[in-house]
Amino acid sequence: MARDVEIREGTIRLGQLLKLADLIEAGSDAKTLIADGLVHVNGEVVHERGRQLHPGDVVRVGDDEVRLTTH
């Protein structure tokens, strides 16, 4: 089950979300995970670290899954 991660603005870049959600330790880790095809957004493999995400999007890295929400 996905855990909710709240963002302040309407969108966030994938690399930023991975760090915010503690799915990676450092921003540079995002590049490797994405290049290796280990990051999924809404069930699809993503290859762009700068992809814009919106509330309701679900991001999965391995067994960890988060859903974007706003307050």
Whether residue 30 contacts residue 14, with contact meaning beta carbons closer than 8 Å, is answered with: yes
- Each residue's pLDDT tens digit, 10-48: 899 999 999 999 999 988 899 999 999 999 999 999 999
The pLDDT of 50-60, averaged and rounded, is 96
Give the CA radius of gyration of the chain: 11
Which pLDDT value is given to residue 3? 95
- Report the amino acid identity of residue 59: V
pTM attached to this predicted model: 0.92
Whether residue 27 contacts residue 33, with contact meaning beta carbons closer than 8 Å, is answered with: no
How remote is the C-alpha of 54 from its chain's centroid? 10
Which pLDDT value is given to residue 51? 95
